[in-house]
Chains A and B, each alone.
Chain A
Amino acid sequence: MGRTQRGGALMRESRAAWLFCTPAALGLLIFIVVPFVLALAMSFTSLRLGSPLPLEWVGLRQYGRIFSDPAFLQALVNNLIFALTVVPVQTALALGLALLLNQRLRAMAVFRTLFFMPVVFPLSLVAVVWVLIYAPGPNGMFNAALSALTFGAWQARDFLHDAHLALPAIMLTSIWQGAGFQMVVLLAGLQAIPGELYEAARVDGAGPWQRFWHVTLPQLRNPLVFVVIVTSILSFRVFDQVRIMTHGGPHDASTTVIYEAVQAAFDRAQVARGAAMSVVFFLVVVLITLVQRRLLRQEREVA
């Protein structure tokens, strides 16, 4: 008798659990699983937007083409450079900002708001503003600032049309825009660290540097892991800045995988080619996420 009652309760509970899951699961299914399966299927065809020609299966032809397309290969390399630079720099900067803003000072809320503001602006707006900041010629804001800082030694450059400076210029914009979000996550992490730990460290005679190294950092591990993974994924997703600031130029110096995919699918109606690029992009992101999770987890076990 008792057993059946408990079984019934379990059944009811799991039914409720399924019910609560459904909206999220449905969303995931419709907006992520189905589109991805479709993209995978499309990437093996000749699909073009609105074409009246019959659809053909072309096997791996789209993949063969994108991997022999110098622009796409350059885009992969650029994405990698972008991630390898932006992830550490942006995380370190966010951590620094979070530490600075974790003080008990008057009007701290104002500072926090100011540093968080770039995150609230739409990325496209930020990009347009930074195009103006990077204006070529000695009167461009960035050029003028560098010239003032170097007492006139800086020669004005056209940042967004310079093969060596275009990608770094986009990186700087992205870091400026993105650091605020990471900062807030890390700030929340910092505030969750119990004060007793610092007190205990002080009693043990630890200086500020030692307290940071042995208390703050280990306590921040989870927020840091989150921040690193999210920043990596986002830095592979970079698109808006490229579209608005450089159009991938000069000569592919700042193109990215998503930019190439959008160009193929929407400017040239080559949906199948765009789908193939998206599939490659997906696999790269999954791979990186898996590797990162593995590495970061192992560290945790050691600690």
Chain B
Amino acid sequence: MRLSSILTCMAGIGHKRSWRWRCPTLAALALLLACSGGCGGQAEPAGVVSVWAHAGRAVERNTLEQQVAEYNARSRTDRVKLTFIPEGSYNGQVQAAALAGDLPDVLEFDGPYLYTYVWQGRLRPLDALLPETLRDGLLPSIIAQGTYRGHLYSVGTFDSGLGLWGDRRALEQAGVRIPKGPADAWTSSEFDNVLAALAARDPDGAVLDLKLNYPDEWFTYAFSPLIESAGGDLIDRNAYRTAEGVLNGPAAVRAMRRIQGWFRSGYVDPNLDDAAFVQRRVALAWGGHWNYPRYHKALGNDLVLLPLPRFGPRMVTGEGSWSWGITRRCRRPEAAARFLRYLLQPDQVLAISEANGGVPATRAAIARSPLYGPHSPLRLFAEQLREGYAVPRPRTPAYPTISAAFAQAFRAVRNGVAPKRALDRAVQMIDRDIRDNHGYPDVAVTGGR
């Protein structure tokens, strides 16, 4: 009920904040004003490497700040200048900065946005900048996510793990088999039986937490693996030209129908308070590495980490997280690469993994990790990534649209829309986006930005 918003809406804008991104002239004007005090990379002294990172949780931020301080103290030639950007509108801010030619030298971004940024000509390949021995030591999932059209563009210092958290006591009471590793995952019908057995002993029958309170990206990350396991996919990955027959093919529809069955049977807790699992309202929770500290504290030795169910011959899980790239407007890529090499040293990888619980990105660090080593509690996550159970999200600049379309379809299925109908609509949205962009052809990159 603010008068300013009334004025804004009379202009047909609706969302005031939006104008910064939508209107290049205004963005330029704003920048002109902001820049009069001396700004951006162009005016930096020769030795400064500007770095943007997402402002995650405090522990994560502190660790990175500490790393940068240590690097600056050690390095004689370079000085890293770190800026944190709020996570909520991270991509929007990157796009605005890119439009204004004001991207930093080193940019952190959420993995699947890489392909959009490369297509837009924002990033430079890292192949020649990082030594082969270093690249060989990275998890295959990090290389897979960072590679686009034959070049490596990004490296992560940690990867994500996706799985099922279980309450051992409840599972044993229900008398169900507890899988030992990724090769041993429940089949889809076995999983349905597990849910039924658990529900029979549960007062309200809701025994599964799917993290429905999470934002949109979660749904693509967490549930597209089921479709892939069933034999479908988000898009045809041979040419990345269409999702027709893949995202709305029989396998994908079957997978979504099964998920809808869990909702219909009342197995799913809406998890509005994000506490369904820690309060032991449910015995199974879809989740990831970031849940471990809290879940371990709540359940102690009853906490068990399980692979996702498999909907086809092989279990498939998710991967990918925040990663680092070097922008095209960086004047001293070697200096930027030196900083990335430092972040990938085992000690530094372990430090960040300890801060956020993520899977360390290098084999050397995993071997030394108290969480991910051979007999450690989260080894399943490392195993999944090492042994090829994890599938990267589609490597195409169409990814933001694919993800938005899939999240919408997932919500529709949750609300009882026929899966085929929901997926058809997602396919239509994705295919139109690809057609509108002429199939995302390689566009000659004109340096500078």
By a beta-carbon cutoff of 8 Å, the part of chain A in contact with chain B is: 28, 30-36, 38-39, 42, 46, 48-53, 119, 131-132, 135-137, 158, 161, 163, 178, 181, 230, 233-234, 236-237, 239, 247, 249-251, 257-258, 261-263, 265-271, 274-275, 278-279, 281-283, 285-286
Cross-chain contact of B1 among A51, A119, A270, A271 (Cβ < 8 A): A119
Stretch in B16-24, B347-355, B377-385 with 4+ CB within 8 Å of A: B16-24
The 5 closest A-B pairs by CB, nearest first: A282-B12, A250-B415, A32-B11, A258-B14, A52-B443
Cross-chain contact of B437 among A48, A261, A283 (Cβ < 8 A): A48
Q: Is A278 a contact partner of B417 (Cβ separation < 8 A)?
A: no
Cross-chain contact of A53 among B26, B417, B438 (Cβ < 8 A): B438
Q: Is A281 a contact partner of B11 (Cβ separation < 8 A)?
A: no
Q: Is B415 a contact partner of A249 (Cβ separation < 8 A)?
A: yes
Cross-chain contact of B6 among A31, A233, A250 (Cβ < 8 A): A233
Chain A residues near B11 (CB-CB < 8 A): 31-33, 35-36, 282
Q: Is B437 a contact partner of A53 (Cβ separation < 8 A)?
A: yes
Chain B residues near A258 (CB-CB < 8 A): 14-15
Chain B residues near A131 (CB-CB < 8 A): 272
Task: Determine the main DSSP class of A at the interface with B.
Answer: helix
**In the bound complex, how far is the Cα of B21 from the Cα of A42, in angstroms?**
13
Q: Is B400 a contact partner of A269 (Cβ separation < 8 A)?
A: yes
Q: Which of A33, A52, A247, A282 has the most CB of B within 10 A?
A: A52
Q: Is A236 a contact partner of B9 (Cβ separation < 8 A)?
A: yes
Cross-chain contact of B18 among A119, A262, A279, A283 (Cβ < 8 A): A262
Task: Determine the main DSSP class of B at the interface with A.
Answer: helix
Chain A residues near B193 (CB-CB < 8 A): none
Q: Is B13 a contact partner of A249 (Cβ separation < 8 A)?
A: no
Q: Is B404 a contact partner of A263 (Cβ separation < 8 A)?
A: yes
A123's closest neighbor in chain B, by CB? B1
For chain B, residues 432 to 449, give those with C-beta under 8 angstroms from any C-beta of chain A: 433, 436-438, 441, 443, 445
**In the bound complex, how far is the Cα of B415 from the Cα of A49, in angstroms?**
31
A274's closest neighbor in chain B, by CB? B22
What 11 additional pairs, Cβ within 8 angstroms, besides A53-B438, A268-B400?
A28-B7, A30-B26, A38-B22, A51-B120, A52-B121, A233-B10, A247-B408, A257-B14, A265-B22, A266-B21, A283-B12
Stretch in B35-43, B66-74, B91-99, B362-370 with 4+ CB within 8 Å of A: B91-99
Chain A residues near B414 (CB-CB < 8 A): 161
Chain A residues near B291 (CB-CB < 8 A): none
Q: Is B15 a contact partner of A53 (Cβ separation < 8 A)?
A: no
Cross-chain contact of B14 among A32, A51, A237 (Cβ < 8 A): A237
Chain B residues near A39 (CB-CB < 8 A): 12-13, 22
Q: A49-B95, A53-B438 are in contact. Are A251 and B412 (CB under 8 A)?
A: yes
For chain B, residues 389 to 417, give those with C-beta under 8 angstroms from any C-beta of chain A: 400-401, 404-405, 408, 411-412, 414-417
Q: Is B98 a contact partner of A278 (Cβ separation < 8 A)?
A: no
Q: A161-B414, A285-B10 are in contact. Are A237 and B272 (CB under 8 A)?
A: no
Q: Is B443 a contact partner of A53 (Cβ separation < 8 A)?
A: yes
Q: Is A250 a contact partner of B14 (Cβ separation < 8 A)?
A: no
Judge whether B5 is part of the interface by a CB distance below 8 angstroms. Answer: yes
**In the bound complex, how far is the Cα of B18 from the Cα of A271, in angstroms?**
10
Instruction: Please encode chain B, from 70 to 103, with 1 for each CB lying within 8 Å of some chain A CB and 0 for all others.
Output: 0000000000000000000000100100110000
Instruction: Please encode chain B, from 99 to 143, with 1 for each CB lying within 8 Å of some chain A CB and 0 for all others.
Output: 100000000000000001001110000000000000000000000
24 contacts between A and B (CB under 8 A): A35-B13, A35-B19, A38-B22, A50-B99, A52-B445, A53-B438, A53-B441, A131-B272, A132-B272, A161-B414, A234-B1, A234-B6, A234-B9, A237-B14, A239-B14, A261-B14, A262-B15, A262-B18, A266-B18, A267-B404, A268-B400, A268-B433, A278-B14, A286-B10
Q: Is A285 a contact partner of B120 (Cβ separation < 8 A)?
A: no
Judge whether B204 is part of the interface by a CB distance below 8 angstroms. Answer: yes
Q: Is B13 a contact partner of A278 (Cβ separation < 8 A)?
A: yes
B397's closest neighbor in chain A, by CB? A51
Question: Within the complex, what minimum Cβ distance (angstroms) separates A229 from chain B?
Answer: 10
Chain A residues near B10 (CB-CB < 8 A): 32, 233, 282, 285-286
Question: Within the complex, what minimum Cβ distance (angstroms) separates B97 from chain A?
Answer: 10
Q: Is A46 a contact partner of B95 (Cβ separation < 8 A)?
A: no
Q: Is B437 a contact partner of A38 (Cβ separation < 8 A)?
A: no
Q: Is A279 a contact partner of B272 (Cβ separation < 8 A)?
A: no
Question: Within the complex, what minimum Cβ distance (angstroms) separates A55 from chain B?
Answer: 11
Cross-chain contact of B400 among A35, A36, A267, A275 (Cβ < 8 A): A267
Judge whether B312 is part of the interface by a CB distance below 8 angstroms. Answer: no
Question: Within the complex, what minimum Cβ distance (angstroms) separates B27 from chain A?
Answer: 11
**In the bound complex, how far is the Cα of B317 from the Cα of A50, in angstroms?**
31
Judge whether B62 is part of the interface by a CB distance below 8 angstroms. Answer: no
Chain A residues near B417 (CB-CB < 8 A): 250-251
**In the bound complex, how far is the Cα of B445 from the Cα of A265, in angstroms?**
24
Question: Within the complex, what minimum Cβ distance (angstroms) separates B275 from chain A?
Answer: 12
Question: Within the complex, what minimum Cβ distance (angstroms) separates B357 from chain A?
Answer: 26
**In the bound complex, how far is the Cα of B14 from the Cα of A257, in angstroms?**
9
Judge whether B8 is part of the interface by a CB distance below 8 angstroms. Answer: yes
Question: Within the complex, what minimum Cβ distance (angstroms) separates B145 from chain A?
Answer: 20
Question: Within the complex, what minimum Cβ distance (angstroms) separates A259 from chain B?
Answer: 9
Question: Within the complex, what minimum Cβ distance (angstroms) separates A124 from chain B?
Answer: 11
Q: Is A181 a contact partner of B7 (Cβ separation < 8 A)?
A: no
**In the bound complex, how far is the Cα of B17 from the Cα of A291, in angstroms?**
29
